Structure 1
């Protein structure tokens, strides 16, 4: 099947999966950011036979001996993929049963943010693309949201894939393209902070990512771990008065460094459609809320974190910078809201939800001689336009309501 035909099938599949979306009134304080309610996503139990465990109390779940390629071709593939999409945010930790008015008894689960799978030797680039796209489709993303094409890290690059929808995450390519940023990465350097590594993928796009799937294909002898942090937990650690203020704010998300990199290396930004009709042009910037509601969980997360956030609207430059730095410092100073993956094998896989999770690679292998390079392949699914739902709750409040017999999602 050619690429256009594949996309047509994908759009049709996504439209069917998105029927759970119910449009509601526009948030009056954020007139351009629409709110949507989604019918509760319920686990079918298709993944129950697979062993898994929570990596930390707050974030991260690892599946044991699961072949992702099998999930794609199993007779009940749609059920498996849909449950995986839910489980990458909803992993069983402490089950309890409660009643949702007008519905059957269901078992609630704790939302996990990122899921890990070891040694996925059967997962090809094409299967990786299919999996991450279907994760979004089965959890109800818009039919027009496909796979992202990176404005810089695409098939035109020296160390890139031949497929624009696969980004090669390469330490060699990063050092070549972003020489200024990586100037202090080298043998014998004395770098004192790596906190600027934290980010969520492609938040500079009008339609950013829901899921990312990363598979490492080359490992250094040691080092190169990746860390993730929970945006849910970050929000819950802010005082209620300040939460209410932040709920009303929007920010400018941008990545001018990519334009600078293109100029310095004599190539053009990929300006055609980058996986969604809205993601076009060379101006890599968008307006999104500071606090974002995850449409699957109905929980609030601090979204304005990391490399792609430029300025909070309505604040002075000093005030904006204070909040943005403070968000990052909360991550750095609270390691109990983080999870760390040590990549043990070629083809280890991580899948995460960019709407509520941040991540940072660890370039420690670049500081010591002879440890080798790090490389992998990444496929990024596009989701919905970020929005804030004033009826949404924080994670801890949502879990408490569920334990007390409340609704699975906000009304």
Structure 2
């Protein structure tokens, strides 16, 4: 007999879903599956804990035509992290340059093609791969979960891509994995500092954790981190915010980061691409994914994002790779056979 494949769905298995790719992305295609109802269900804690686990395993999960409002979206972001075991001092993130309005509080980020957070540093003439990033890794205590509901879309275009940090780690050779596990990296949110200065804004402080304070917007994190929910190792550097490998010379650091950034952007077999429809929701795990928007459209593209703060990144040397734990084929051990 063959063992059934691992499924992280738990109590969510009562809803129709499918995996978008083998390594990342799960979709609930029916609009009858509403996150607003899960929040108020009699067994909501069980459902939400299983949802947090599913997102931790699959990286990003997609929901169709959701009626969830911003108050419920914030509640969802809070409860996912709490039920997954994040520290009590971690709440929703307040972006360094978020502005509180009568409609939206500072712990909601407007993701808009008109500018602001979503377009910081964007250049139309630059390579699209320059947009790959992981949210707010410049914070000492960065994000666990993020939730984006897209309410305004162009006629065509504006897809978002996500890549798996688990698979990014697993595609490396054992020797390279071991090398990276001894390194740490500096993450910097300098683009937001510059925008705040240009627009005469004050950097918000604190930002969802007592440790996320000050205007320097810098933090040092392990290059390989252990996911606290799955126990899997994940690559944790990103083109948007990672500036320097601490233990290497500047030239060595530049070369290594350039390779790792290409590793994420050029391996389409560990990516998923999502075409948005109005009121779709994506929930992703910033501890084990990278993402980028596709700036190929004309017109307004806008949504509201809630980002939860998790725990300080760490590497447990006894943690393992996703492929090894799940018994997937094609691990990257180097063949001992000599070339003839």
Task: Kindly state the Cα deviation for residue 43 of structure 1 after the two structures are TM-superposed.
Answer: 6.4
Q: TM-score, normalised by structure 1?
A: 0.75
Q: Is the 8 A contact 1:177 1:265 kept in 2?
A: no
**Pick from 68, 75, 79: which aligns with 2:42?**
75
1:119 aligned partner? 65
Distance 2:142 2:43 in 1: 29
Compared with structure 1, are the counterparts of its residues 265 and 192 closer, same or farther at alpha carbon in structure 2 (3 Å cutoff)? closer
* Aligned positions of 1:129-144 closer than 5 A: 129-144=74-89
Name the SS of the counterpart of 2:73 in structure 1.
Answer: helix
Q: Is the 8 A contact 1:177 1:261 kept in 2?
A: no
Which string of whole-angstrom CA distances, capped at 9 and with x for unpartnered residues, describes residues 17-70 of structure 1? xxxxxxxxxxxxxxxxxxxxxxxxx96942121000000111100013210000
Task: Kindly state the Cα deviation for residue 391 of structure 1 after the two structures are TM-superposed.
Answer: 0.3
1:261 aligns with 2:261: no
Task: Kindly state the Cα deviation for residue 82 of structure 1 after the two structures are TM-superposed.
Answer: 0.6
Q: Is the 8 A contact 2:140 2:220 kept in 1?
A: yes
Which string of whole-angstrom CA distances, capped at 9 and with x for unpartnered residues, describes residues 330-367 of structure 1? 122211110000002x21000000000000001111xx
Q: Is the 8 A contact 2:9 2:54 kept in 1?
A: no
1:149 aligned partner? 94
2:282 aligned partner? 350
2:28 aligned partner? 63
Compared with structure 1, are the counterparts of its residues 155 and 315 closer, same or farther at alpha carbon in structure 2 (3 Å cutoff)? same
Distance 2:187 2:201 in 1: 23
1:393 aligns with 2:320: yes
Structure 1 residue runs of 4+, over 4 Å off? Answer: none
2:253 aligned partner? 320
Distance 2:180 2:162 in 1: 22
Compared with structure 1, are the counterparts of its residues 301 and 124 closer, same or farther at alpha carbon in structure 2 (3 Å cutoff)? same
Distance 2:118 2:177 in 1: 41
* Aligned positions of 1:21-100 closer than 5 A: 45-65=10-30, 66-89=33-56
Compared with structure 1, are the counterparts of its residues 176 and 285 closer, same or farther at alpha carbon in structure 2 (3 Å cutoff)? closer
Compared with structure 1, are the counterparts of its residues 348 and 162 closer, same or farther at alpha carbon in structure 2 (3 Å cutoff)? same
Task: Kindly state the Cα deviation for residue 319 of structure 1 after the two structures are TM-superposed.
Answer: 0.9
**Pick from 228, 241, 245: which aligns with 1:308?**
241
1:330 aligns with 2:295: no
Compared with structure 1, are the counterparts of its residues 242 and 161 closer, same or farther at alpha carbon in structure 2 (3 Å cutoff)? farther
1:25 aligned partner? none
Q: Is the 8 A contact 1:253 1:288 kept in 2?
A: yes
Q: Is the 8 A contact 2:112 2:118 kept in 1?
A: no
Compared with structure 1, are the counterparts of its residues 69 and 323 closer, same or farther at alpha carbon in structure 2 (3 Å cutoff)? same
Name the SS of the counterpart of 1:88 in structure 2.
Answer: helix
1:237 aligned partner? 171
Q: TM-score, normalised by structure 2?
A: 0.90
Question: Is there any run of 5+ residues in structure 2 with no aligned partner, and where?
Answer: 1-6, 329-340
**Structure of higher RCO (CA pairs closer than 8 Å, 6+ residues apart):** 2
Q: Is the 8 A contact 1:161 1:168 kept in 2?
A: no
1:364 aligned partner? 296
- Aligned CA-pair RMSD: 1.8
Name the SS of the counterpart of 1:71 in structure 2.
Answer: helix
